[in-house]
Structure 1
């Protein structure tokens, strides 16, 4: 993978290198408006009452069509909803929304498989969000979907509910002997081979491999001609000998102001995106891998990733998580934590949490849950192992270094000697106004954003730091006083990170310059360099790669090796996605 075209943008972000990807499946087309509307309808039906916000979060941004000096209101109003566009690729979908669509699709397909096999009942609880089918919830918490059976061992509609421990028991029941009860049944497990792997976005390496489709350009393990586009040749027109010669191979912007040619002779026959099965598929049978709309991939963007990426299944963006559950060490019973229980009650899903660093610090292959920044060249990636123990809780990171605990949040404001005791009982504001002395002896350095611990503290086996007076510093940065009361870090520090974008807040320390939006001076809001506020880099842990070129891009961006990035919560009018799935077992189809 890597550059096959001249780097006219001088990005130097995709040097050619040889990698291997496992066999996988990919949608032959981009996800259509029709598909996404089905997803929206399901959400509106299941979450129709108390948790409507889950539906609203999935609504794509139709306003991406608007341009300051163009009239695109018909697209805003009609592109998603009108039947004329149902076969067109969905756009205006963020990376986060696309990922959640993949999760939903996984659940619906696995639910359909269980329905087809007669294992669960259809329409279990159509308006009960906690009881709709979710693959993870079924595997961990399946009793939530378990329905009572009658004396014949069958469910309300006559179908067998779940799997039986011993098929012979079922036969005995039919002959008048023992019948199946709830005790005789078990839930489907992954070992049964019924469930399909998860749908997901393809990795950048997978997407590029699928787009180039070199299957017809190799001989005895030698690729004798690297492709520039998903087809042979160096042209965006069909150069074959025949009636199709000269036809456009993909939907792109041919030149300035030229979206589709001239009246009476439209070249690509599309002013915006075209239906998903327009033009010729590549040799893998995939449509529109160049042009039409750009496509999201899973990877976090770093321009130097190619220097350190793995040779096998390369991907940047791993955050290792585990289920938020409590497992009884004796019986093995699984119980949801209170937070996970609350999440399950309104979403029907099992909450996942980042793996704690103390659970993986001794591993050879990884030592922290969040590896998006691994070897990306910044200071954070250069911290030697052992000098800092990182704890990730709900996206906030705290570093415990020797006798100091550093909290990566900016300084809180508004504290005075008069009100500090009201906010933190028993606390004293030290001289200079930059330190708070807590009753347990901990000093909170507001300027350097650290907790300075008193002498005599010790670290317990469960990761807590015990103070001489019996109070503790918990691994997530909370302070538990001797009386059991909790002081949270956000009581001292604002929850934002310098130089990083924060949702819903332009942020004094955010990417967009000033802390408050000023409608009278839009330039200041993004940092104009005059008032001292500079816009920082847009490359962050939420910058995701998209590829492929679109109806509004020049042909250069249709080359599969080119790469761009966008914040995972933003969207564009020329950006869609398609799903991929891992192939399990042999990488080839056995005869």
Structure 2
């Protein structure tokens, strides 16, 4: 018996190890719950991609989220507004633009509109910043009206005169251009040269949602390196468009929420050790003042702002902040997240609707006020074809229900689109939980559902407004010479980014290192 056991033990160990090796080797290609192989055209063709590593889109920096005290950096309330009292919240990890959107960035946007819709003068005009914001009855700012946006000397300066609505339109446009560029580089769409020389030009420009719905295909569109189609019955060399499940396309660019912006501006990640915030901040940099305390740069201003009345840049021969109006978007030192000009230069639009008492009505995870729930409208509900506007973008309509409807409810709603059940759902919850008198709302106060928050302070603001917790508001269709914006993007997958100083379990160590490499963190 002893001999038999001695003989069979190595065999069993070999069999076990072989099984484990095969199991581990095929883990990404086999369903762990059914054992059925993925990406097999003979058993259904389900394609699962486990090798995708998420990374930021162009211009973005990863911001590892966490908990912080929103309003906590406000050490004095000069305005006595009491509109950002302290409360602890959690912000999910996300991406944010390294810099403010510049004039060169906006000119790229205008150029694309003019190239793709040369006869639509209204579209181009609506996208133009209001350069008249520089005019003032008692100032000679007239040169900026014609020069600030287009002169090469200002190309790296932040774009101003843009409304909240224009900033959102830019985010939508940027999403489509980034995803189109990714697909053309990968060969899933024809390259730019082939597209320009092709006789079969697409009827509409590329749109991410329309593409993902399979409505952007055909001659002059499909690239030679589209993914293989494993659908049962498909030809051996059949190809398909990229899907969201492939992990190739980027999430939408958007304006950051107020909580995201304040969290990123503070950059407390540089003051954190072992889960403890060692030092709080008043500004995006350490210290109580607005001048550099380092030996080689001692006394230099840390941001572009207005120290006192009548002093926009200091004394000739030794200008204190180097800017009379705005300055380049990469001026000064970045904060501990690597973000430039999170204080001063220009104020920045955020997504939120302004309420003085937002701190009373908030969720402690990803707090945000301003939700308007919209759905894509179908041109043909049976075939799933999405309706497009004249610019090739999906038409969006108010959401009809707060949850997934039953099949019966869906059919009833299609038969009677104006049913009472749909009317009972409030898709526009910008003023959620507001106790208002509808007859007086918007009449006795300047605050309404189109009042949007902006933060950060500008070249024409005092140091008080450089504190990330301060907040002001302006109507979403208004603009001025002191307000610009930067974009953000939702981070998908694991929220953990900074793992260098944190012990990890062996099973997670390789994954964490791989994520850090993709995100550019070493």
- TM-score normalised to the size of structure 1? 0.65
CA distance in 2, matches of 1:213, 1:197: 23
1:211 to 265, 269, 275: 265
CA contact (8 A) 1:302 1:376 kept: no
2:229 to 141, 150, 165: 165
Q: Deviations over 1:473-527 (max 9, x none)?
A: xxxxxxxxxxxxxxxxxxxxxxxx9865xxxxxxxxxx6xxxxxxxxxxxxxxxx
Tell me the CA shift for residue 129 of structure 1. Answer: 8.3
Aligned pairs for 1:373-392 within 5 A: 373-379=431-437
Aligned to 2:393: 349
Q: What SS does the aligned partner of 2:307 have?
A: coil
Give the aligned length: 409
Tell me the CA shift for residue 164 of structure 1. Answer: 2.7
Normalized per residue, the structure richer in helix is 2
Aligned to 2:357: 304
Tell me the CA shift for residue 264 of structure 1. Answer: 1.2
Q: What SS does the aligned partner of 1:557 have?
A: helix
Q: What SS does the aligned partner of 2:263 have?
A: helix
> Do structure 1's residue 12 and structure 2's residue 82 form an aligned pair?
yes
> Do structure 1's residue 566 and structure 2's residue 465 form an aligned pair?
no
CA distance in 1, matches of 2:148, 2:160: 9
Q: Deviations over 1:251-286 (max 9, x none)?
A: 100101000111112100100001011111111111
CA distance in 2, matches of 1:361, 1:368: 15
Aligned to 1:92: 161
1:254 to 274, 282, 307: 307
- Gaps (5+ residues) in structure 2? 1-69, 407-420, 498-511, 514-522
CA distance in 2, matches of 1:556, 1:262: 22
- Gaps (5+ residues) in structure 1? 150-154, 171-177, 381-496, 501-510, 512-535
CA contact (8 A) 1:44 1:55 kept: yes
Tell me the CA shift for residue 335 of structure 1. Answer: 3.2
1:292 to 326, 331, 345: 345
Q: What SS does the aligned partner of 2:95 have?
A: strand
CA distance in 1, matches of 2:432, 2:348: 25
2:326 to 273, 282, 300: 273
Tell me the CA shift for residue 192 of structure 1. Answer: 1.0
Aligned to 2:115: 45
1:131 to 192, 204, 208: 204
Structure 1 ranges of 4+ moved more than 6 A = 125-129, 167-170, 358-363
Ranked by relative contact order (alpha carbons within 8 Å, sequence separation 6 or more), the top structure is 2
Aligned pairs for 1:115-154 within 5 A: 115-123=184-192, 124=195, 130-140=203-213, 142-147=214-219
CA distance in 2, matches of 1:222, 1:370: 39
1:148 to 1:110, Cα distance in 2 relative to 1, 3 A: closer
CA distance in 1, matches of 2:139, 2:377: 49
CA distance in 2, matches of 1:209, 1:118: 38
CA distance in 2, matches of 1:168, 1:370: 43
Q: What SS does the aligned partner of 1:136 have?
A: helix
Aligned to 1:233: 287
Aligned to 1:549: 457
CA distance in 1, matches of 2:141, 2:278: 45
1:356 to 1:563, Cα distance in 2 relative to 1, 3 A: same
CA contact (8 A) 2:97 2:488 kept: yes
Aligned to 1:103: 172
CA distance in 1, matches of 2:395, 2:427: 16
Greater CA deviation, 371-380 or 25-34? 371-380
Tell me the CA shift for residue 187 of structure 1. Answer: 1.9
- TM-score normalised to the size of structure 2? 0.74
Tell me the CA shift for residue 148 of structure 1. Answer: 6.4
Tell me the CA shift for residue 583 of structure 1. Answer: 0.8
CA distance in 2, matches of 1:374, 1:164: 47
CA contact (8 A) 1:29 1:288 kept: yes
Tell me the CA shift for residue 361 of structure 1. Answer: 10
Q: Deviations over 1:273-324 (max 9, x none)?
A: 0101111111111110000100000000001111010000000001111111
1:574 to 1:358, Cα distance in 2 relative to 1, 3 A: closer
Q: Deviations over 1:102-155 (max 9, x none)?
A: 111100010011101101124558997852101011112x33432269xxxxx6
